[in-house]
A and B are shown apart, each in its own frame.
Chain A
Amino acid sequence: MSGPNFSNPVVRWIDHRLPVFTFMHHEMHEYPTPKNLNYWWNFGSLAGIVLVIMLLTGIILAMHYTPHVDYAFQSVERIMRDVNYGWLIRYIHANGASFFFIVVYIHIFRGLYYGSYKAPRELLWMLGVVILLLMMATAFMGYVLPWGQMSFWGATVITNLFSALPGVGEWIVTLLWGGFSVDNPTLNRFFSLHYLLPFVIVGVVVLHIVALHRFGSNNPLGIDVRGKQDSIPFHPYYTVKDMFGLGVFLTIFAAVVFFMPNAMGHPDNYIPANPLVTPAHIVPEWYFLPFYAILRAVPDKLLGVLAMFAAIAVLFILPWLDRSPVRSATFRPLFKIFFWIFAANCVLLTYLGGKPAEGIYVILSRLATVYYFFHFLILLPGLSIFETPKPLPRSISQPVLGSGTAGASKENS
């Protein structure tokens, strides 16, 4: 075990006793990363940075927010009007939630396309699904905090999902509420948990990264790194690439925060919560819409709830549904086509989730829901058997299939 040789004596002194610098050197500088990662691989580190932005702005908002039904809306308005730069911090936090989901959904679809969930990265993938679930819970509870009309009715509808469970349903809902409706105790506990869960996410993210560094990143070819010629150190190559990607992200993010900060929110949430009047069209935040569409597609209350949870649960067993040994869709002609159909189906579900549950929308929702599960439960296992993959390249640095897959090599012409 030969550590790096640090020239700074202070660094050396500390590192001898607490080897944080060796650790960083090992995980950043020496950490071999496939040299052919494309820009879709930027979204992992980007998600990490957005998580930090959310934590920072969230902790600040908590300094000014009051979790009480009589003051919550008012305290948010005080943040928007009187607290120095409060409007900026709240707009960053509110839009940051949406952007967090955009980044994470792209990250997930990248994993789906390039087969990043396959052996030996199954646990890495499952930890990612856990992060997604935690994010959903956190985002849902955070949306309740401003105590607007959508906050209140979103909380009412989502907590009522649990009433579908036979026998214990009503008991669980009362337990979640701390009363007989969504009220002050509910708001208080949601605030507490909304503050707690992001730190749990940080913990799972650490595990996610530990699991990642065990075998290193997957890559667009989906084949293993065979040696030194296939990889480059993470730093400075991917740090600078991630920084560039961050710059692009921040530019788009800033444009939304400063020029259209309420575009992703719902106007009804600027009306204080009123337990006696439900808004005419209640819609969850856009990132829940596909799951909301699945919930509404099933005519039975319990089955609808189960279908919605199953839509995420199925991701946990994905590594065992898709048994094809080839990871990347680049070498799976049929899988590639169905991947895009699946992606389009998800977009369709998102669209349908925002539409009223009537007429053609209901029929489409049912078809799209059936297809969603068909893709995972029938199609992927079937494809693993019947599909003939294209020949794989011998290594990342010697692709047999000619140009087009060699990643960064063409970039510097």
Chain B
Amino acid sequence: MAETHEGATRRDFIHVASATMGAVGAACVAWPLIDQMNPAADTLALATTEFDVSGVEEGMAVTIVWRGKPVFVRHRTAKEIEEAGAVDINDLPDPETDGARAAKPEMLVLVGVCTHLGCVPLGQKATDPRGEWGGWFCPCHGSHYDTSGRIRKGPAPTNLPVPPYEYISDTVIRIG
């Protein structure tokens, strides 16, 4: 092989340069091959959902779809709101006040996906088991959520997340 003769430094430089170019090129090619797995433009364009909450009666809950996931909209009773607000947040696994979780206290909007491993918790229907705190109960691995959607017992690490949403009129929310 060539390395033992004269000009070893220049030779090495050329090999290093070609190899570097090759590596940079491969990296540039790799990005499109990976990025294609990210959500496509049409998928991203559908990322907002609008919903009129006026049809949800007190004590009722409705499940709507946002980004392919269930979103719980629950019109809470005064009792439920009171229970949610009365908790000492230092006792919670994932401390959050109820006020920080609902733009309007009576209307709770949550992503209905258990933070443990992604099942949909029960509790939307009055006949569903709602767990020990009267909120939601995940049947897969037994996580209990309270009337603010906060984790109280079971393997789930965090509260049911509140999706980004705003009231675009008195009764219509836009999620996303």
Query: Interface on A for B, CB 8 Å cutoff?
Result: 56, 60, 63-64, 78, 81-86, 88-89, 236, 243
Contact = CB atoms under 8 A, between A and B. Distances in A.
A86 B43 contact: no
Given A85-B33, A85-B35, A243-B18, 12 more contacts: A56-B33, A60-B33, A60-B36, A63-B36, A63-B37, A78-B40, A78-B42, A81-B41, A82-B43, A83-B40, A86-B36, A236-B1
Given A236-B1, A243-B22, A85 B32 contact: yes
A311 B32 CA distance: 41
Contacts of A243: 18, 22
Given A78-B42, A243-B22, A83 B36 contact: yes
Contact of A84 (B18, B22, B35): B35
Q: Give the 10 A-B CB pairs with smallest separation, nearest first.
A: A85-B32, A82-B40, A82-B41, A82-B42, A84-B35, A83-B40, A84-B36, A85-B36, A84-B38, A83-B36
B4 to A, nearest CB: 14
A88 B36 CA distance: 10
Interface in B4-58: 18, 22, 32-33, 35-38, 40-43
Contacts, number: 37
Nearest to A236: B1
Contacts of A81: 41-42
Nearest to B37: A63
A172 B22 CA distance: 49
Main secondary structure of the interface of A (DSSP, over half): helix
Contacts of B32: 84-85, 88-89
A104 B6 CA distance: 40
Contacts of A63: 36-37
Nearest to A57: B33
B31 to A, nearest CB: 8
Nearest to A233: B1
11 contacts: A63-B37, A78-B40, A81-B42, A82-B40, A82-B42, A84-B35, A84-B38, A85-B32, A85-B36, A89-B32, A243-B18
B40 A84 contact: yes
A164 B24 CA distance: 53
A64 B40 CA distance: 10
Contacts of B33: 56, 60, 85, 89
A30 B38 CA distance: 44
Contacts of B22: 243
A263 to B, nearest CB: 22
Contact of A86 (B1, B18, B40): B40
Greatest chain B CB density within 10 A among A63, A78, A81, A85 is at: A85
B37 to A, nearest CB: 7
A83 B33 CA distance: 11
A64 B39 CA distance: 11
Contacts of B18: 243
Contacts of B43: 82
Q: Which of B18, B33, B35, B37 has the most CB of A within 10 A?
A: B33
A343 B40 CA distance: 47
Contacts of A85: 32-33, 35-36
A243 B1 CA distance: 18
Given A236-B1, A243-B22, A89 B41 contact: no
A257 to B, nearest CB: 12
A243 B18 CA distance: 10
A124 to B, nearest CB: 29
A88 B43 CA distance: 19
B42 A89 contact: no
A80 B41 CA distance: 11
Given A81-B41, A82-B41, A243-B22, A89 B36 contact: yes
A78 B42 CA distance: 8
Contacts of B37: 63
A160 B119 CA distance: 51
A165 to B, nearest CB: 43
A64 B41 CA distance: 13
Contacts of B36: 60, 63-64, 83-86, 89
